[in-house]
Amino acid sequence: LVSRQFVDMSRIRIEGLLAAFPKLIGTGKQHTYIETENVRYVYQPIESLYLLLVTNKQSNILEDLDTLRLLSKLVPEYSYSLDEEGICKHAFELIFVFDEVISLGHKENVTVSLVKQYCEMESQEEKLHKLVMQSKV
């Protein structure tokens, strides 16, 4: 539904990795990651959907799990309904959140409250634009 890449990768490769994921997960398993020949899928169910990180196998699994845990706390904060429609409706906000948590493929040292603060910040241009729009109404 929403995908954000932090490394250069073709669309076909990304779609292939995402298409392979549902076939790899089993029901009732307690693991939160799956390793294939080339990549590691780190995932967490969120209602009927999955929050998924696709990393290389050399990445630090503990950092990956920590990143996933942080994202899983933030997604419900920005998409109030955790179904396809709700996620798609808030896609841009979610991408902004992902960008605050992950920079150049590495987790930033941030908390839920810091990410929320960063995403709520407004520039002077935004404030001016809002004032102009309100005055037109």
- 8 A C-beta contact, residue 98 and residue 67: no
Residue 20 CB-density burial (10 A; 0-12 exposed, 13-18 middle, 19+ buried): middle
- Summarised one tens digit per residue, pLDDT across range 44-79 is 888 888 889 898 888 889 999 999 999 999 888 888
Q: Establish if 52 belongs to a structural domain.
A: yes
When divided into structural domains, the chain yields a total of: 1
Q: Establish if 2 belongs to a structural domain.
A: no
Choice between 101 and 124, residue whose per-residue pLDDT is larger:
101
Tokens of 32: 């939160």
Q: Establish if 4 belongs to a structural domain.
A: no
- 8 A C-beta contact, residue 34 and residue 57: no
CATH number, domain of 75, equals 3.30.450.60
Q: How far is CA 45 from CA 25, 48, 55, in A?
A: 11, 7, 17
Q: Which domain holds residue 116?
A: 11-136
DSSP code of residue 2: -
- Summarised one tens digit per residue, pLDDT across range 114-126 is 888 888 877 777 7
Backbone angles phi, psi at 126, to 5 degrees: -65, -45
Q: Establish if 115 belongs to a structural domain.
A: yes
Q: Establish if 3 belongs to a structural domain.
A: no
